[in-house]
Amino acid sequence: MESSLSSRAFLCSLSLGAWWGRREDKGEARRIAREHGAAFEDVNVGISLVPRVLVRSVDNAETAIRANWKHYTLTWERGLRVLPRTVLERLTDTHR
């Protein structure tokens, strides 16, 4: 039976991406900049395109995934973590 680390665990990283239901309104930013004598580059106007409660549920899911990831993995180096083969199925089941 092989007992090397590579036979018992994976080195891995987690990368999540999400769209937060917002977009920039450049037209409104230009209007506000003109109205207040500000530079257009200094004005940011964001518009919510989906209800905040839906965005909150995405944020909560992302937080839960990161918490599970940290629970089931061990710190390694350069952003990588060690995932023991014995918990791989539990982790993937949790994330489904």
User: For the segment 3-58, what is each residue's pLDDT rounded down to a tens digit?
Assistant: 677 788 999 999 998 888 899 999 999 999 999 999 999 999 999 999 988 889 88
With CA atoms as reference, report the closest residue to 70 among 95, 47, 42. 95
Domain residue extents for the chain? 5-95
21 touches 70 (CB < 8 A): no
Band the pLDDT of 71: cuts 50, 70, 90: very high
Angle between helix axes 85-95 and 52-72 (nearest 10 degrees) is 170
Q: What angle do CA 79, 56, 13 make, to 5 degrees?
A: 15
63-69 contacts, C-beta under 8 A, 24 or more apart: 65/14, 65/16, 65/95, 66/14, 66/16, 68/94, 68/95, 69/14
